[in-house]
Amino acid sequence: MAAKRLAFAFCALGFLQTSFAGFERFWIFSKDADTQVAETWETLSDAEQRALIQRYQSLKELPDAQSTTLQQRMDWFTQLPEQEKQKMRDTWQKMSSQERKELGIRMQKAAPEDRPAIRDEYISKYLPQTASH
């Protein structure tokens, strides 16, 4: 009986250590990622390769206005106390994409003194147990 429990615990831990998304990494016959990327790249025509490189470069380069807005958001977030940062991270993970967009729009339109109230509103909505001070 103890052997069964031990075997079951070992199997459960082994299962938890792997994820289905990356399970092919553990399969002995699978190719490594570098080989797959090289093979895929070689199947593209020269025009497709150039288009892919241009697309990648355009994604890397943000317009100045968008870059400034992003920097302002990052500055605002880094000024928060560590506990508030963690609350925002937890809240953000529980929000849908639409709610994230709405929050971003509300925060952009709000005056700087109104932003903490908006933040508290979302935190209390998604983390009700931590909202009571």
Mean pLDDT of the chain: 76
d(CA 75, CA 80) in angstroms, rounded, equals 9
131 — pLDDT class (breaks 50, 70, 90): very low
pLDDT digits (tens, 9 = 90+) for 5-27: 888 887 776 766 665 555 555 65
92-118 confidence digits (pLDDT tens)? 888 888 988 898 888 888 888 888 898
Angle at 116 between CA 112 and CA 81, to 5 degrees: 110
For the chain, the farthest-separated pair of C-alpha atoms sits apart, in whole angstroms, at 67
- List, for residues 61-93, the tens digit of each pLDDT value: 767 767 777 777 777 777 878 888 888 888 888
- Give dist(CA 133, CA 87) in Å, integer: 13
Count the Cβ atoms, other than its own, within 10 Å of residue 30. Answer: 12
- The per-residue pLDDT for 50 is 82
pTM over 0.85: no
Which phi-psi region, left, alpha or beta, contains residue 62 (left: φ > 0; alpha: ψ -120 to 50)?
Answer: beta
Q: pLDDT class for 1, splitting at 50, 70, 90?
A: confident
Q: Does the pLDDT of residue 58 top 80, yes or no?
A: no
